[in-house]
Structure 1
C-alpha cells in the first residue's frame, strides 16, 4: 500500500515538474529565480552543500530543473523515461560499520635471538 502511494506521488510530482518546465516564460531559465531570497531566514538551520554532497544520489534543484526541461531522467540522464520508471536506479549509498571496529595495523617487536649472551 505504501509503495503504491509513493509511486503515485512520484508520478504526480514528475507530471507537475514537466508541466511547470514546459510553461516557463522565455526570459527565465530553469533553476533561476526572479526574486532571490537574500537575507531571509526560516528559523531552521541551513544544510550545507558539503553535507548534502555526501549522498551520491543528491541532485541539485538546478540540475533537477535542467533534466525536467530537457526531458531526461534524473537518475541516468537518458531520454525516454522518467526517474520513477528508471531501471538503472540510484547509486548505492555507502553504509557505515558501526558495530565493528576498524582493523588497524599491528606493529610487532623486532625478534633478536639470544646468541649465548647471558
Structure 2
C-alpha cells in the first residue's frame, strides 16, 4: 500500500494491531474498511459513472442482449444516487429500438426499475429468437434458389445454371458467330435476351445468307427449263 492510501491506513492499522490501545478511533476491521473506502474514493466517481451510464446503450454491449446491458447498467447505477424514475428513463433510452417499441405498447407499464429490466429482457429474448429464425429461413430460401438460377454478369457474358443446359461448345459457337449466347437467335446482348437459354443448336448466319442465293438459283434454273419446254411445244405445233 503506497501513497495517500498508505499514509492514511498505516496509523490505523498500527492501532488495530496493538492490543493495549483501547482508545483507537477504529476498533474493528469492518469499520476500518468502510472508513478506508470513504477516504480514498474518487470524489468525481459519481460524475464519471453518470457519464458512462448516459453513454451506455444495448448496442455497446457484447452480444447486444438486454441481459448483458442490464448487468452493466446495474453496475454503474450502484455508484449513483439517482432516484428510480431517473434510472428507469435512462435504462429505457439505451434499449434496442425494437424492444423499446414493443415495451411502449404494453398496456401495463412497469412501475419499478427491476420490473422494467425483467420485462425488457423477456421482450428482447423473443425478438432475438425471431430474428435468428428469419435469418435461418432466408438462408434456406437462398439455398433453394441456387439450384434454379444463379449467375454472374460481366459485359455480354452471363454464366447461368438453369433447367435447360447449354453446352460450353454451343456458347462458344454463339460468340464466334456474333449471336446471343443464351438463345443463339440474334445479335442482341445476353442481358437483353427475352427468350432465355435454349439448347437447340444455332445456325451459322453465314450459312443462312447462302440459302436464299441457292433458292434463287434453283428458281432461275426451273424457269429456264420451263421456257425450253414452251419453245419445244411451239415448234411441234408449227
Q: Answer yes or no: same fold by TM over 0.5.
A: no
- How does the TM-score come out when normalised to structure 1? 0.30
- How does the TM-score come out when normalised to structure 2? 0.16
Structure number with the higher helix fraction is: 2
Higher relative contact order (CA 8 A, sep 6+): 1
